Amino acid sequence: MTRVGATDRALTISIETVKEHEQNTLRKLELSNRTEAAVWIVKRGLV
């Protein structure tokens, strides 16, 4: 099970919708991928 798969089942939305939201978030933060997003989050102390 992928992380995206777990998210779409928990929220009862399609995988495509989860991926679209993910890409929109990355674009707004000017990041290229989830690894960069994870670093961005940790540097800001959000987790």
18 exposed, middle or buried (CB, 10 Å; 0-12, 13-18, 19+)? buried
Domain containing 21: what range?
Answer: 3-43
Whether 1 has a pLDDT exceeding 60, the answer reads no
Whether 9 has a pLDDT exceeding 80, the answer reads no
Query: Rounded to two decimals, what is the model's pTM?
Result: 0.70
Q: How confident is the model at residue 29 (pLDDT cuts 50, 70, 90)?
A: very high
Yes or no: say if 4 and 14 are a contact pair by the CB < 8 Å rule.
no
Look at the chain and report how many structural domains it folds into.
Answer: 1
3-state secondary structure of 10: helix
SS3 content of the chain, % helix, strand, coil (to 5): 70, 0, 30
Yes or no: say if 22 and 36 are a contact pair by the CB < 8 Å rule.
no
pLDDT of residue 41: 97
* Mean pLDDT computed over 4-32: 87
Whether 3 has a pLDDT exceeding 80, the answer reads no
pLDDT of residue 14: 87
